[in-house]
Structure 1
Amino acid sequence: MKLFLWFVCLTFAVGLSAQNTNEKADSFYANGQFSKAIETYKSLENLDDVYVKIAKAYLALGNYGKAINNYEEAVKTDSENVLIKYEYAKLLTRTNKYNEANQLFTNLIELDSLNPSYYYELGLVLEKQKDTSAFQQFENTFNLDHTHQKAIFKIAKQHLMKRNFLDAHSFIDRGLDSYEDNIELISLKAQTYYHQEHYTHAIVWFNKLLELGEKSEFIHEKLSISYAQNSDYIEAINHRKQALRYNPYDANAMYVVGVYYEHLNNFKQAENYITKALQLKDQSLSEEYETLGTIYNRQKKYEKAINAFQKSLKEDPSNITSEFFMLRTKDEFYANVNHKIKLYENFVERHAKSYFTGFAQRRLKELKEEKFLNEN
């Protein structure tokens, strides 16, 4: 009898010691001391009940390999625990083990076909595997939970990519009904209107992103374009300059700002930004020099305009528009009528079938009449 009581007391003491050790390890984990938590868990004689805890501690440390090893052990010791399998499957996805994750999520769906999270996670795996059936899994998720924000985003994004704008709006609106500040859905709403070329609506939704603290080069760029499409060049310039803060050496953005200033007849700033753009670009600059030339012309800086058009033609000798603009600039700049006549005659001779030839011939006729009158 005494021996039995001693055995009972010993068993109780061992169990109490194990419980205390487990609680101590839990405390380490809760306070972010993950290495100490792992060390303490491993000091237990029976690890069957703590494999998951060890796995989570390794996961917190970023040691995915050992986390996976311990999840595998946890699944072996508690094969009926679907929560462990679910966490393990998500870790497999995270570590690019897509085939294993696919199989495990498929098994989970067989065990519980009404759990929307299983379908969603399987959809993510199939996406990574470039499997088009991923979309079906996101739809399955939505059918089981009409408020599933992440599934709604995936479905709406697919409709946008397919240019099914009405369907995209429909799903986005459902998602926003249950969570009106969903950044991803608001961004998708703005982009859908943008691709529909409904720029006034796009402006409203891109601005909502800014109001919610979302700021990026993409948002400011799209706002700039949208405002420009509505001929609001002041706001277009403002947002393109905001975009330039993220990428201050974006020659294209600088060029666009210059063009917007031209629309506002602010030729000095237009010249400034287009000149900066030209200095940054390392590709054919024919169009940019041509635009700079027209801006110089608007300021009656004819000599600079001629120089810009010459550079445009150097970049692209076939640019007849620049050649004609340069001809018209020389017409304004030079005083000698004979010289002007010769320039127009040469242009007509070289470009008999050009769109600009008719204008050149009419101006040539005017110059010859002017010469005749001056000589008589």
Structure 2
Amino acid sequence: MRFRVIIVSVLLVSCVVNSQSIKEKADQFFAIGNFSKSIETYKTLEVLDDVYDDIAKAYVAIGNYGEGLAYYKKAISVSPEDLLLQYQYAKLLSKTKNYKEAHKRFSDLIKIDSLNPNFHYELGVTLEKLQDSTALERFKTTYQLDSTHQKAIFKIGKEHLVKRRFKEAHTIIDVGLESYSDNIELISLKAQTYYYQEYYTYAVVWFNKLLDLGEKSEFIHEKLSLSYAQNSDYKEAIYQREEVLKYNPKDANALFVLGNYYAALSDFEKAEDYYKKSLKLRDVSLSNEYQKLGIVLNRQKKYKEAIEAFQKAQKEDPDDIMNSFFILRSKDEYYADVDAKIKLYEDFIKKEKNAPLKPYAERRLKELKEEKFLEED
């Protein structure tokens, strides 16, 4: 009898040791990122109660959220008092867009532990997905419970910015940056706040901080370009706008803006080039764009090409009186014959009786007639 007891004991110890060995192997597979192998190994255990959550985590790691949810449910059924399991399950529910069930789970967790800031934050995220306006209150509660909670600070700061409460936005962003000065999201929010305040010098500083931290995006370069331009720093504005073009080389607006910047620097040849590139890509009314092109062509004394550009602008928008006036002025510069010029102004005055620029045309017509009289004399 004693011998049998000893045999049974040895077998039990052997089973326990074997189970421990299998779990250790599975844990090792998990630790090195071989999640599918870890799942396979966990499932060879005779009893899975203690590894349901490990299997759930491994499934989540390989993106099989359905199985992850199923195994979290099994884990919770075995350990219903384990708050961490319930928290992880609720987060996965929210991640998989099961927002109503996630809402219930997070609310239940808050009833158990109302002082846990992350329970409030995750409920806020879920409420946000449900388009529930009370989400902000949850983020504020999170911040009250943990004044260093970066994600909650970002959510509150972003809301202040959207509502154009700039002072409040800066205040809470600064609190967050005190505990984590390299928070990319908060630095971006800080830069945007200055930008929308039209404090462009400060905006430049903060957008450049993002670049210094290795953050590069079309949005950052575009806002930097616009900020530099507002400070008349067109060389930097051009550099940043050219960076924007790397993301979308066929961005007609970016090309047109570059034309404006080069025109501001009196580099009319490059302005002309960018305007033309922009025009080729557009399929909307181009009156304004052709006007801009005509102006920089005039500045280069390319009057014939300028006339053609203004005529295209006029074709795009026949009601824009400025097109007619620009054509008139370009022909005035291009034509050598005084009589031809006089007729141009007479026709313009006759046709555009109520034009705001009529007084200028009348003065110029008078100058031309005097010029003709002196030549004849």
Name the residue aligned to 2:270: 269
SS in 2 for 1:49: helix
Q: In the TM superposition, what is the alpha-carbon distance from 1:93 to its structure 2 partner? A: 1.0
Name the residue aligned to 1:37: 38
User: Aligned equivalents of 2:247 and 2:320: distance in 1?
Assistant: 34
Name the residue aligned to 1:129: 130
What letter corresponds to residue 122 of structure 1 in structure 2?
L
What letter corresponds to residue 134 of structure 2 in structure 1?
S
User: Aligned equivalents of 2:29 and 2:333: distance in 1?
Assistant: 84
Name the residue aligned to 2:306: 305
How many residue pairs are counted as aligned between the two chains? 376
Q: In the TM superposition, what is the alpha-carbon distance from 1:35 to its structure 2 partner? A: 2.1
Name the residue aligned to 1:350: 351
User: Aligned equivalents of 2:333 and 2:152: distance in 1?
Assistant: 64
Name the residue aligned to 1:165: 166
| Alignment gaps of 5+ in structure 1 | none
Deviations for 1:274-311, whole angstroms, at most 9, x for unmatched residues? 11111121211111111111111111111111111111
Alignment of 1:98-177 (within 5 A): 98-177=99-178
Matched, 1:14 2:19: no
Deviations for 1:184-208, whole angstroms, at most 9, x for unmatched residues? 1111111000000000000111111
Name the residue aligned to 1:67: 68
Which range moves more in the overlay, 237-246 or 159-168? Answer: 237-246
What letter corresponds to residue 12 of structure 1 in structure 2?
V
Provide TM-score, normalisation by structure 1. Answer: 0.97
Name the residue aligned to 2:366: 365
Name the residue aligned to 2:202: 201
What letter corresponds to residue 34 of structure 1 in structure 2?
F
Name the residue aligned to 1:339: 340
Name the residue aligned to 2:185: 184
User: Aligned equivalents of 1:21 and 1:238: distance in 2?
Assistant: 59
Deviations for 1:17-55, whole angstroms, at most 9, x for unmatched residues? 222222222122222222222222222222111110111
Name the residue aligned to 1:242: 243
Q: In the TM superposition, what is the alpha-carbon distance from 1:253 to its structure 2 partner? A: 0.8
Q: In the TM superposition, what is the alpha-carbon distance from 1:371 to its structure 2 partner? A: 3.0
What letter corresponds to residue 55 of structure 1 in structure 2?
A
Deviations for 1:316-355, whole angstroms, at most 9, x for unmatched residues? 1112112101101111111222222222122222222221
User: Aligned equivalents of 1:18 and 1:202: distance in 2?
Assistant: 60
Name the residue aligned to 2:221: 220
User: Aligned equivalents of 2:200 and 2:58: distance in 1?
Assistant: 49
User: Aligned equivalents of 1:195 and 1:242: distance in 2?
Assistant: 22
Q: In the TM superposition, what is the alpha-carbon distance from 1:115 to its structure 2 partner? A: 0.4
Q: In the TM superposition, what is the alpha-carbon distance from 1:223 to its structure 2 partner? A: 1.0
User: Aligned equivalents of 1:102 and 1:18: distance in 2?
Assistant: 38
User: Aligned equivalents of 2:351 and 2:252: distance in 1?
Assistant: 34
Which range moves more in the overlay, 211-220 or 362-371? Answer: 362-371
What letter corresponds to residue 29 of structure 2 in structure 1?
F
SS in 2 for 1:353: coil
User: Aligned equivalents of 2:175 and 2:319: distance in 1?
Assistant: 54
User: Aligned equivalents of 2:30 and 2:179: distance in 1?
Assistant: 35
User: Aligned equivalents of 2:32 and 2:224: distance in 1?
Assistant: 45
Q: In the TM superposition, what is the alpha-carbon distance from 1:369 to its structure 2 partner? A: 2.8
Matched, 1:325 2:326: yes
User: Aligned equivalents of 1:20 and 1:134: distance in 2?
Assistant: 46
SS in 1 for 2:49: coil
User: Aligned equivalents of 2:272 and 2:109: distance in 1?
Assistant: 64
Name the residue aligned to 2:297: 296
User: Aligned equivalents of 1:86 and 1:353: distance in 2?
Assistant: 74
SS in 2 for 1:265: coil
- CA RMSD after TM alignment: 1.3
Which range moves more in the overlay, 25-34 or 289-298? Answer: 25-34
* Identity fraction in percent: 59
User: Aligned equivalents of 2:277 and 2:295: distance in 1?
Assistant: 16
